Amino acid sequence: MKTILLLEDLPEIRAWLRKLVLQIFPGATISESSRIGDALELVAAVKFDLALIDLGLPDGSGVDVVTKLRDIQPDAQSVVVTIHDDDEHLFPALQAGAFGYILKEQPREMIAEQLQRISQGEPPLSPSIARRVMQYFSAKAKPAPNNAPGIPNVSLTDRESEVLLRVAKGYTLPEIGVQLGLSRHTIADYVKQIYRKLNVSSRAEAALEAQRLGLFR
């Protein structure tokens, strides 16, 4: 029995999502909201298993809700459901701790399948997102002059870098599994790890920045 949060401002889409979610997770408790403020309150009050979050909301970006969910309820899975497919929008959400993303305009079956897969622990990874992640971690690999103790400096393992590289080249995850002699599940685990590390590293960065700003203020 899952508790699910829906954050979406277009009412028709919200209704449609609700129908879809109930189809996939029958009997789930669904909380809906169309504003970030309400969503943040809900996150503070209710324990969720899954959150479907739209990015483009009238009073801000859904990334804030992703961040807050990550902070308060690390076990909850947040999935970004968005119209944007470019890494400009998706990468920050992933950095904030989103578990995966779904493109809104796809046909129902596709969305259902993707949602299923995400909840089973197989988040999607597109070539452009993979490139972005690689860029991010290679920039982090350079020694930071002010790395305060206690803030983890995460980096990717060789395997993880390997997976990212192949995704960037356009290989699908099953193909990569075949190439590296690993099961699909293992590859999915790697992707999950990559996202987690991205989140941890980004949060550390944010904390450091806040600390520095705090010092100067």
Partner 1 sequence: MHDFRFRLACARSLLGCCAWVLLAALGTLGLCAPAWAAELPTIQLRSALAAPGGEGRFPTDVRPFEVKLPDRWADTRPGFDGSLWYRVAFGLPPGTAGPLGRGELLAVSIERVCTTYELHLNGQLLHRAGRMTEPLAYHCNQPQLVTLPAALLRDGVNVIDVRVAGQRVNELASESSAGGLSALLVGPQPVLAAVHARQQLGLVTLPQAMAATLVLMGGFMFVLGFVNRRDSHLAYFGALSIGWALLDVRLWLRGLPLGHTVVEFLLCSLLGFIAWAAVQFLLRYAGIRLSWVDRALPTQAAVMPATLVLAGGGQMHAMATLWYAVLTLEVAAAAWFYLHWSARSASGGRRSRGLMAVLMAVVAVAGLTRLIDPWSVERWTVTLAVSLLTPLVLVIVGMRLVQQQGRALNVAQQDKKELEDRVREATAEVESKMRQLAELRVEQVTERERKRIAADLHDDLGAKLLTIVHTSESDRISTLAREALEEMRLSVRGLTGKAVRLADALGDWRAEVVSRLAQAGIESEWEAPEDLPQRLSARAYVQTTRILREATSNIIKHSGATHCAVNARIAEGDFALVIQDNGDGIGPDVEGRLDRGHGLASMKNRAKQLQGQCLVESGPGYGTVIRLTLPLDRAAEGS
Per CB under 8 A, the list member of 18, 35, 104, 159 interacting with partner 1 is 104
Choose, by CB under 8 A, the member of 13, 28, 30, 112 that binds partner 1.
13
| Closer residue to partner 1 (CB): 68 or 89 | 89
Considering the complex, state which of residue 42 and residue 176 has its C-beta at the smaller distance from partner 1: 176
Q: Which residue in the set 23, 44, 47, 106 belongs to the binding site for partner 1 (CB under 8 A)?
A: 106
Amino acid at 7: L
Contacts of 53 (CB under 8 A, 6+ apart): 5, 7, 39, 62, 65, 66, 78, 79, 80, 81, 93, 98
Say whether residue 161 binds partner 1 (CB under 8 A): no
Counted residue by residue, the chain has a size of 217
Number of residues that bind partner 1 (CB under 8 A): 25
User: Could you tell me if 17 and 34 are in contact, meaning their C-beta atoms sit under 8 angstroms apart?
Assistant: no
Restricting to residues 18-77, which ones interact with partner 1 according to CB under 8 A? 56
Stretch that binds partner 1, among 39-47, 78-86, 183-191, 205-213 (CB under 8 A): 78-86
Among 10, 28, 178, 182, binds partner 1 (CB under 8 A): 10
153 backbone φψ class: left, alpha, beta (φ>0; ψ -120 to 50) = beta
Integer angstrom CA distances of residue 160 from 15, 76, 124: 38, 24, 15
Q: Which stretch binds partner 1 (CB under 8 A): 42-50, 59-67, 120-128, 150-158?
A: 120-128
Could you give the string, one character per residue 171-200, with x where binding to partner 1 holds by CB under 8 A and - elsewhere?
xx--x-------------------------
Positions touching partner 1 (CB under 8 A) are 10, 12-13, 16, 56, 83-86, 104-108, 126-128, 131, 167-172, 175
